[in-house]
Amino acid sequence: MAILHVRDVPDDLYERIRQLAAREKRSLSAEVVRLLELATEREPEALESLYDRIRRRRAEIQRKVGVLPSSVELIRADRDR
């Protein structure tokens, strides 16, 4: 079995994973493997379904409140302050 070393894990992320592992009664390594499996299991169709739901929700909000501002423009304006 392969060995994976991960460097520069933020302390808060490490702690959240450690706490999750303890709650699930797993070792830290077993929990990280489980999380990696979950993250890579998603089928492209499932992601496309998620994107479709996001697009429908955005369209619904726009019908209610009007055109939504571009997040790129909002971020740029915030950086320019």
What local confidence, expressed as pLDDT, does residue 15 receive? 97
| Whether the model pTM is above 0.75 | no
In this structure, are residues 58 and 64 in contact, taking their beta carbons and an 8 Å threshold? no
Provide the 8-state DSSP code for 72. H
pLDDT, tens digit, for every residue of 11-69?
999 999 999 999 999 999 999 999 999 888 877 777 778 889 999 998 999 999 988 88
Length of the chain: 81
- Phi, psi for residue 8 in degrees, rounded to 5: 60, 40
Cα 75 from Cα 72, distance rounded (Å)? 5
Cα 38 from Cα 41, distance rounded (Å)? 5
